[in-house]
Structure 1
Amino acid sequence: MLNRAMLTALLGIGSAQFLKIPLNYIETGIWDWRKVIGSGDMPSSHSSGVTSLTTYVALKKGLPSIEFGISSIFGLIVMYDAMGIRWQTGEIAIAVNDMDEQLEKLAVDHPGINHKKREKELKEMLGHLPIEVAGGAALGIAIGTISYLTERKTKGSR
């Protein structure tokens, strides 16, 4: 059986993924159920997962604990990566997909140019905007706190 900290983090990830569906509907008017397994969008499931874990650990073990230190640094790296490297990768994918489309049009207009269109476009929505990371973090703090407060206390546990 998974421990409470792992379950809390998984609940943070799952909740964020599920919330993407109604939030996308509010924004676009389209119920897109693929959002439940997709990356990017509001709220960040990366942020929600690591923040729910870190919040739970902080409340359970305390701020001076090694567990809190580890989960905090892990969370910062994950959230930085979601906004930085993964966002830039998505921007590169957009540029590559645009170039491929332009090359295909060029090849049609100029028979001497040989271009084989990519079978599948690169996935463009990979990372998060800062507001999406913040939304995931706020959700994670709430989930981590609720998880701690609803945990049954046993003798000898904090």
Structure 2
Amino acid sequence: MAEFMAGIGKNIILMTAITAWFTAQVLKTMTSYWRHGSFNAERLVGAGGMPSSHTALVVSLAVGVALRQGLDSDLFAVAVVLAGIVMYDAAGVRRAAGKQAKVINKLVREMRVEHKVRDTRLKELLGHTPLEVLGGAVHGTLIAYAFYVFYR
């Protein structure tokens, strides 16, 4: 088991991606605090917010592979396709689902006044704005480049 963990710790591209995700979650928590004036621990693990940690993770993975394996590598192609799917999902499908949840929550609040429906609150912060996705991409790129320079 120790050998397994040591092997994972030596995988620079994996460590790059994990670091990009973790630091983006911390940044997301900090930007939430700055924006709302209160600490929200859910931001450390939750979806949505600035920057997109999902985007930071997959972009750092793709950039890390590009820097270590080259732009013509098969692994880079796989990583870019994965990154594209994740970023599209974050800014498209999940964002639309969050907007729908917001409308449903409003309807439930309005109907509850008439005592016709139980209060069931849906999570509204699911996806990202294009700017949050861009922020995650920039963050992921910078983390991957820093790992490349440091562990070359």
TM-score of the superposition, structure 2-length normalised?
0.89
What percent identity do the matched residue pairs reach?
37
Letter of the structure 1 residue corresponding to residue 80 of structure 2? S
Give the alignment's Cα RMSD to 1 decimal.
1.2
* 1:103 counterpart SS class: helix
Cα-to-partner distance string for 1:64-116 (whole Å, 9 max, x where unaligned): 00000000010011001000000000011111111111111123xxxxxxx34
Tell me by how many angstroms 1:144 deviates.
Answer: 0.6
Partner of 2:137: 137
* 2:114 counterpart SS class: helix
* 2:72 counterpart SS class: coil
Relative to structure 2, which stretch is displaced further, 31-40 or 89-98?
A: 31-40
Letter of the structure 2 residue corresponding to residue 146 of structure 1? A
Structure 1 residue 34 corresponds to structure 2 residue 34: no
Runs of 4+ in 1 over 6 A off after TM superposition: none
Q: Which aligned pairs between 1:29-68 and structure 2 lie closer than 5 A?
A: 29-68=37-76
TM-score of the superposition, structure 1-length normalised?
0.86
Residues matched between the structures, number: 144
Structure 1 residue runs without a partner (length 5+):
108-114, 154-158
Distance, in Å, in 1 between the alignment partners of 2:101 and 2:38 is 24
Tell me by how many angstroms 1:18 deviates.
Answer: 0.6
Bigger-Rg structure (1/2) = 1
Tell me by how many angstroms 1:41 deviates.
Answer: 0.6
Structure 1 residue 88 corresponds to structure 2 residue 99: no
